Structure 1
Amino acid sequence: MIVRSVQDIIGTDRDIRGDSWASRRLLVAKDSVPFSLNETTVEAGTELQLWYKHHIESNYVVEGEGSVKNLDSGESFPLKPGTCYTLDQHDRHIVKATTRLKFVCVFHPPLTGQEKHDEDGSYLPATEHEGESS
Structure 2
Amino acid sequence: MRRDRDRVEGLTGERVPPIAVTITGGDTVHGGGRHFRVPKRDLVTALQLALQDGRLKIAAEADHADTLVRELADFRVKITAGGADQYGAWREGAHDDLVLALALSVWWAERVMAIAARQRPAPERKP
TM-score interval (norm. to shorter): under 0.3
Larger radius of gyration: 2
TM-score by length of 2: 0.23
Whichever structure has more helix as a proportion of its residues is 2
TM-score by length of 1: 0.22
